């Protein structure tokens, strides 16, 4: 099946720093999705990308859908303590999502 490589696996940053994470795949997707999951909760959709090359922002979050449709990145600017959690990318095609392994973000005040 399709697989996504998400990196980095974890990040430890200082409050105020910018964060960047990305996902790559050997297969193309029609939609790229970025989710955040907090302990004991289901993932919450942050940003959805629908077109190759699309760059979308949601507050301090910016994500891009790669031109080849095989990759995507998520940037978080000026991180704050409540940004902690696990961030998952997901590629979506034919109604099915494939998830990356997640990036665990820790923000030190």
Partner 1 sequence: GAVVSQHPSRVICKSGTSVKIECRSLDFQATTMFWYRQFPKQSLMLMATSNEGSKATYEQGVEKDKFLINHASLTLSTLTVTSAHPEDSSFYICSATDRANTEAFFGQGTRLTVV
> Least distance in Å: CB of 16 to partner 1?
27
Q: Which phi and psi angles does 81 have, rounded to 5°?
A: -55, -35
Is 48 a binding residue for partner 1 by CB under 8 A? The answer is yes
Of the candidate residues 15, 45, 51, 80, the single one contacting partner 1 (CB under 8 A): 45
Can residue 59 be called a binding residue for partner 1 (CB under 8 A)? Answer: no
Nearest Cα to Cα of residue 20 among 70, 67, 87: 87
**Measured distance CA(31)–CA(53) in Å, rounded:** 11
User: Binding of partner 1 at residue 51 (CB under 8 A)?
Assistant: no
Q: Cα(35)–Cα(42) distance, rounded to whole angstroms?
A: 9
Among 28, 52, 84, 99, binds partner 1 (CB under 8 A): 99
Residue 7 binds partner 1 (CB under 8 A) = no
Are 100 and 23 within 8 A, CB to CB? yes
Q: Which residues of the chain form contacts with partner 1 (CB under 8 A)? A: 30-31, 33, 35, 40-45, 48, 50, 88, 90, 92, 94-102, 104
């Amino acid at each position: 099946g399709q697989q996504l490589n998400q990196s980095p696996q974890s990040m430890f940053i200082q409050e105020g720093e910018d964060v960047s994470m990305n996902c790559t795949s050997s297969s193309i997707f029609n939609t790229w999705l970025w989710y955040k999951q907090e302990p004991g909760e289901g993932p919450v959709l942050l940003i959805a990308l629908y077109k190759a090359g699309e760059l979308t922002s949601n507050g301090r979050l910016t994500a891009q859908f790669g031109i080849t449709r095989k990759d995507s990145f998520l940037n978080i600017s000026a991180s704050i303590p409540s940004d902690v959690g696990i961030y998952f990318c997901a590629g979506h095609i034919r109604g099915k999502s494939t998830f990356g392994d997640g990036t665990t973000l820790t923000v030190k005040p």
